[in-house]
A and B are shown apart, each in its own frame.
Chain A
Amino acid sequence: MSYTADTAEQVSSIAGDKYKYGFVTDIETELAPMGLNEDIIRFISAKKNEPDWLLQWRLRAYARWLTMEEPSWAKVEYPDIDFQDAYYYAAPKSQEDGPKSLDEVDPELLRTYEKLGIPLHEQQMLAGVAVDAVFDSVSVATTFRKELAKAGVIFCPISEAVQSHPELVQKYLGSVVPYSDNFYATLNSAVFTDGSFVYIPKGVRCPMELSTYFRINQANTGQFERTLIIADEGSYVSYLEGCTAPMRDENQLHAAVVELVLLDDAEIKYSTVQNWYPGDADGKGGIYNFVTKRAACRGRDSKVSWTQVETGSAVTWKYPSCILQGDNSVGEFYSVAITNNLQQADTGTKMIHIGKNTSSTIIAKGISAGRSQSTYRGLVRMQPGAKGGRNYTQCDSLLIGDKCGAHTVPYIENRNRTAQIEHEATTAKISEDQLFYCRQRGLSDEEALSMIVNGFCKQVLQELPMEFAVEAQKLVGISLEGSVG
């Protein structure tokens, strides 16, 4: 047996039980009745004490959603989802009136986040990272709010922002991803329950990393969070999201929407470490991760950077995109997608160049192992007005074992003579020479594999904020190996 076959076997033997976030928190939960209809939407809206315009917006989205079909063009296969067989609202009962401070947060929840490595007590926290913790349908805690408020930064659950900053929410909600955008985004618009809201005022460089930590706990629930980040002129923020879920035999749906708005000279760095439960070795259970993320670079010289490390979920359908409208605006997409066992990922980006001298960079690394399928799907479009537009795309696939698949589907559309598009893609396996070389120097098969794969992903991992880069490197190893630290 060759090294690679050996390695592949080891990799494929790693079952879901290596997923260290698979525990369930036993906490009393309030659920809306099962199923989806107008009453449920009214129930959610009433729970959040929303103004009428938002309820009407949700109802328009729902009416639209009823006329839409689930998209089928992605290279993913899964059984039909019964949208009536799920709860659309689940909240820890103890949170009913909303905690006024961290001291009021249910200790069970605090313990849960500690187990996840996200201590919410500020004194224990990573210095310089503010966290919003979203548990099932509601935000349970947001840290460092006072410090952020001093800088004028608003960082709070979106349900709270609807109350405290309705003018901002009404102006920007749905302005990047309209409620009619696509099947999952429209569903999200109708039933979203919580998520994070961020506003960085003019000229402010956010003094710390902002982070949202999403946790699905309750069985048979969908999670539909909605994140809205507005970076006003000349502002900067680095934002990171993480996500985990218990190991359950049933599939659970996660259909989030993230909207980023950037005005003149603003910059947003948005990083994701997605580690939803991927299902077990036989493909049982796991999260369906159908997410719409889009950034509108409306201002000149604005810059958005998406970095994602996708290791979890049974099925991923996700294309964080950049609309480069402002002149000289910049879009970046750095992605690592690892699939193992029976995971499927169809992910990539869209770069729509509208303004003059806009530029974009795409670095996508796909690693497939086991019997998994990984697809890069991306669009680069230079509109007729995108004078001097530039795009560079590099997507590389690495196959581990002979039962997996790696696919690349780029769409390259140039309607401007002065725009330049350059696209490169390669597919290869880990070479037997590389593994032998590492092992001759004393590394085990697994260490060698982890090291080579991390090297393959380096261009992307180095884009992550430092605190998370180390974590992500370990995750890359864990996703492919049995050696859980």
Chain B
Amino acid sequence: MSNILEIKGLHAEVDGTEILKGIDLSIGTGEVHAIMGPNGSGKSTLSYVISGRDGYDITAGSISYQGRDLTELTIEERAAQGIFLGFQYPVELPGVSSTTFLKTAVNAVRRQRGEDELDAVQFMKRLRQHTASLNINDDMLRRGVNVGFSGGEKKRNEILQMALLEPYFAVLDETDSGLDIDALKVVADGVNALRGPTRSMLVITHYQRLLDYIVPDYVHVLAHGRIARSGGKELALELEEKGYGAFVDGAEAA
């Protein structure tokens, strides 16, 4: 199986402070990997580096995606190439209706991919395929993007966007944060429905709980900007039992 994402010796800094200190990670097509780690270990930084956020500078190493150097691409080009980031804290866009935003995004991506844009009827049809299962009502679609949404609504809205944009590689950054157990199930079901042989995922989480619902193929422990250990899904259980302290360099462990 060919790898969709290949990260080698990645160092990255924010405002002159090195956060990622040599990450190596290979993700195969169709695989789901989980990255776990304590606060401040660099989990969110990794997601921003992959999606190309400004201010997250790669100082050494490489990221290749579908065999291509990612750093050549702008944020929106990466999105068009199928990279999706589910935000830990989805951003509010006052006055921009969710429907308008979704349609604009879907068509922007389609345009960049050389596909025909969807007209309003085609788009609404696609939208309807996903809204019911994610429990997204018309009122949410009429309101400003994420404006006045509860934590659960925001995360479901992220999954809706993922479903519509049909990415090849999705990074889900702490998708479980701020969710109660019922909301977590809805979100996890939404994610699982999108798993498939051509779609890879990187699930970032602090707690093992999410991985009961989104079962990964591989688990990595991130600490102090490096991958401290990798293993199968059972590694998450071991972490839960022993805590992060057992996996990181004793002197540095918090």
B91–A434 touching, CB < 8 Å: yes
CA distance A2 to B53 in the complex (A): 9
8 interchain pairs, CB-CB under 8 A: A436-B54, A436-B75, A439-B74, A441-B105, A443-B76, A444-B108, A455-B93, A455-B94
B54–A442 touching, CB < 8 Å: no
CA distance A447 to B117 in the complex (A): 15
Q: Which residue of A lies closest to B74 (CB)?
A: A439
| Residue count of chain A within 8 Å CB distance of chain B | 26
**In angstroms, how far is the closest chain B Cβ from the Cβ of A396?**
10
Cβ of A469: which chain B residues have Cβ within 8 Å of it?
A: none
Interface size class of B (residues with CB under 8 A): 20 to 34
Cβ of B29: which chain A residues have Cβ within 8 Å of it?
A: none
CA distance A2 to B75 in the complex (A): 13
Cβ of A447: which chain B residues have Cβ within 8 Å of it?
A: 104, 108
CA distance A258 to B114 in the complex (A): 50
A421-443 Cβ-contact flags toward B at 8 Å (1 or 0): 00000000001111011111111
CA distance A441 to B79 in the complex (A): 6
B53–A436 touching, CB < 8 Å: yes
A455–B51 touching, CB < 8 Å: no
B247, CB-defined interface residue at 8 Å? no
Cβ of B106: which chain A residues have Cβ within 8 Å of it?
A: 442
A63, CB-defined interface residue at 8 Å? no
* Interface residue from A434, A439, A456, A459 paired with B76 (Cβ < 8 Å): A439
B165–A451 touching, CB < 8 Å: no
A145-204 at interface with B (beta carbon < 8 Å): none
B123, CB-defined interface residue at 8 Å? no
A458, CB-defined interface residue at 8 Å? yes
B80, CB-defined interface residue at 8 Å? yes
Cβ of A83: which chain B residues have Cβ within 8 Å of it?
A: none
Cβ of B161: which chain A residues have Cβ within 8 Å of it?
A: 441
Cβ of B165: which chain A residues have Cβ within 8 Å of it?
A: 441-442
State whether A455 and B75 are in contact (beta carbons under 8 Å apart), knowing that A3-B54, A442-B109 are contacts in the complex: no
CA distance A437 to B96 in the complex (A): 13
Total A-B residue contacts, Cβ distance less than 8 Å: 77
A362, CB-defined interface residue at 8 Å? no
B55, CB-defined interface residue at 8 Å? yes
Question: Considering the complex of A and B, which 4 residue pairs feature the smallest CB-CB distances, nearest first?
Answer: A455-B95, A458-B95, A455-B96, A442-B109
* Interface residue from A1, A440, A451 paired with B104 (Cβ < 8 Å): A451
CA distance A431 to B91 in the complex (A): 10
* Interface residue from B75, B93, B101, B144 paired with A440 (Cβ < 8 Å): B75
Cβ of B101: which chain A residues have Cβ within 8 Å of it?
A: 438, 441, 451
Q: Which residue of A lies closest to B112 (CB)?
A: A442
CA distance A445 to B108 in the complex (A): 11
A302-319 Cβ-contact flags toward B at 8 Å (1 or 0): 000000000000000000
A379, CB-defined interface residue at 8 Å? no
B32, CB-defined interface residue at 8 Å? no
A454, CB-defined interface residue at 8 Å? yes
A452, CB-defined interface residue at 8 Å? yes
Q: Which residue of A lies closest to B110 (CB)?
A: A442
Q: Which residues of B contact A (CB under 8 A)?
A: 51, 53-55, 74-76, 79-80, 84-85, 87, 90-96, 100-101, 104-106, 108-109, 112, 144, 161, 165
State whether A457 and B95 are in contact (beta carbons under 8 Å apart), knowing that A440-B51, A443-B108, A451-B104 are contacts in the complex: yes
A2–B79 touching, CB < 8 Å: no
CA distance A458 to B90 in the complex (A): 21
Cβ of B79: which chain A residues have Cβ within 8 Å of it?
A: 439-442
CA distance A483 to B84 in the complex (A): 26
CA distance A457 to B90 in the complex (A): 22
CA distance A431 to B96 in the complex (A): 14
**In angstroms, how far is the closest chain B Cβ from the Cβ of A283?**
30
CA distance A459 to B147 in the complex (A): 15
**In angstroms, how far is the closest chain A Cβ from the Cβ of B99?**
12
CA distance A458 to B143 in the complex (A): 12
Q: Which residue of B lies closest to A460 (CB)?
A: B95
Cβ of A432: which chain B residues have Cβ within 8 Å of it?
A: 54
**In angstroms, how far is the closest chain B Cβ from the Cβ of A21?**
26
Cβ of B105: which chain A residues have Cβ within 8 Å of it?
A: 438, 441-443
A437-485 at interface with B (beta carbon < 8 Å): 437-445, 447, 451-452, 454-459
**In angstroms, how far is the closest chain B Cβ from the Cβ of A234?**
34
CA distance A454 to B109 in the complex (A): 21
Q: Which residue of A lies closest to B109 (CB)?
A: A442
Given contacts A442-B108, A452-B96, 16 further A-B contacts (CB under 8 A): A3-B54, A436-B91, A437-B91, A438-B101, A440-B76, A440-B84, A441-B108, A441-B109, A441-B161, A442-B165, A443-B108, A445-B76, A447-B108, A451-B101, A458-B96, A459-B95
B96–A451 touching, CB < 8 Å: yes
CA distance A444 to B78 in the complex (A): 11
* Interface residue from B54, B87, B104 paired with A443 (Cβ < 8 Å): B104
B75–A452 touching, CB < 8 Å: no
CA distance A434 to B90 in the complex (A): 9
CA distance A440 to B76 in the complex (A): 6
State whether A444 and B54 are in contact (beta carbons under 8 Å apart), knowing that A451-B96, A454-B95 are contacts in the complex: no
B92, B105, B144, B165 interface centre (most CB from chain A within 10 Å): B105
Cβ of A442: which chain B residues have Cβ within 8 Å of it?
A: 76, 79-80, 105-106, 108-109, 112, 165
Q: Which residue of B lies closest to A432 (CB)?
A: B54
**In angstroms, how far is the closest chain B Cβ from the Cβ of A270?**
23
* Interface residue from B76, B93, B94 paired with A444 (Cβ < 8 Å): B76
CA distance A457 to B53 in the complex (A): 27
Cβ of A2: which chain B residues have Cβ within 8 Å of it?
A: 54-55
CA distance A437 to B52 in the complex (A): 11
CA distance A433 to B145 in the complex (A): 13
CA distance A445 to B52 in the complex (A): 14
Cβ of B76: which chain A residues have Cβ within 8 Å of it?
A: 439-440, 442-445
Q: Which residue of A lies closest to B89 (CB)?
A: A433
**In angstroms, how far is the closest chain B Cβ from the Cβ of A6?**
8
Cβ of A445: which chain B residues have Cβ within 8 Å of it?
A: 76
CA distance A127 to B124 in the complex (A): 28
B54–A454 touching, CB < 8 Å: no
* Interface residue from B54, B55, B74, B93 paired with A452 (Cβ < 8 Å): B93
B95–A456 touching, CB < 8 Å: yes
Cβ of A444: which chain B residues have Cβ within 8 Å of it?
A: 76, 108
